[in-house]
Amino acid sequence: MSSIFAIARRDLKAYFASPRASAIFWFFLIFMGFFFNNFIGLFMQMTQQAPMMGGQAPTLEQLLKALFYNLHFILLLVVPAVTMASFSEEKRNHSIRLLQTSPCTPMEIVLGKFFAAASLMALVLVASAVYPLFTVTHGNPDKMVILTSYIGLLLLVCSQIAFGLWVSSMTSNQFMAFLFTMFGLFLLLILNWMATNLSGGGIMESVLKYLANSDHLDAFFKGTLSVGHTAYFLVFTAMFLFFTNVTLDSQRWR
């Protein structure tokens, strides 16, 4: 247990010792700001036009939902950047020997790396809360929806990190790790839309749709917390952490 903590703490410090952490914060917050600014403008315009056009004025919840949907796209670029170095970098500069020769099980190493990346992304999410909080101070959105949306985003990020770690554990090339993680995460996002074309309907379609993460995330953005959708993300995370463990263990035998 103590070594999980030691590895996680060192890795988290290493993110901040290099420009990587600040670049990630900047990238995430600036793009989220662009989206937020854009949506607020649209929101104001529609609110003003609604009485004249005779339609319903948009709600703040709709604004936030649109914002959180777009975060998924930013995460496609940010999460691979966080996880790409986890194992690749250590392999490249040979510091992986330190972990391999220490009395730690591969699972402790994987969990240490996972918690470091997850803490970094949790901090990014906390920082990003400034935008939803802006709507709270200037309006009256449903605070529970914001909370469940953030729980959903955290679960999503954890599953993405687990996938990224697995990819990173298989290569010593950071760029390849980045590319393949992004490719895989993108596939998970669009699988929902491609399901019909890929399967031609029937049971296969519902299986593919279940595998995609967008529907599961949707439930959190609507303000509901369900065991089923939470379990999807937890099982996904656990599964890829286990795969990473297997990859690390098997590399000794090549």
Interface contacts to another protein, rule CB under 8 A: 2-3, 5-7, 10, 13-14, 17-18, 93-105, 252-254
CB 23 within 8 A of CB 124: no
Written as six digits, the tokens of 72 are 């998924």
Minimum CB separation of residue 8 from another protein in Å reads 11
Give residues with Cβ within 8 angstroms of 114, minimum separation 6.
8, 158, 161, 162, 165, 241
Nearer to another protein among residue 213 and residue 244 (C-beta): 244
CA distance 191 to 210: 9
Task: State in angstroms the smallest separation of the CB of 203 from another protein.
Answer: 42
Report the alpha-carbon distance of residue 221 to residue 132 in Å, rounded: 13
Cα torsion 94, 95, 96, 98 to 10°: value is: 130
User: Which are the contacts of 127, defined by CB distance < 8 A and separation ≥ 6?
Assistant: 25, 28, 29
* Cβ at position 53, least distance to another protein in Å: 57
Q: Taking the complex as a whole, how short is the minimal distance between the CB of residue 207 and another protein, in angstroms?
A: 37
Of 62 and 100, CB closest to another protein: 100
We find the least distance from the C-beta atom of residue 103 to another protein, in angstroms, to be: 4
Q: How far apart are CA 114 and CA 161, in angstroms?
A: 7
The residue (of 85 and 158) whose beta carbon lies closer to another protein is 85
* Residue closer to another protein, measured from CB, 14 or 151: 14
Q: Which is nearer to another protein, 94 or 202 (CB)?
A: 94
Taking the least distance from each CB to another protein, the nearer of 64 and 99 is 99
Q: How far is the CB of 99 from another protein (least distance, A)?
A: 7
Name the CA dihedral angle for 96, 98, 102, 108, rounded to a multiple of 10 degrees. -40
CA dihedral 43, 221, 241, 123 (to 10 degrees): 50
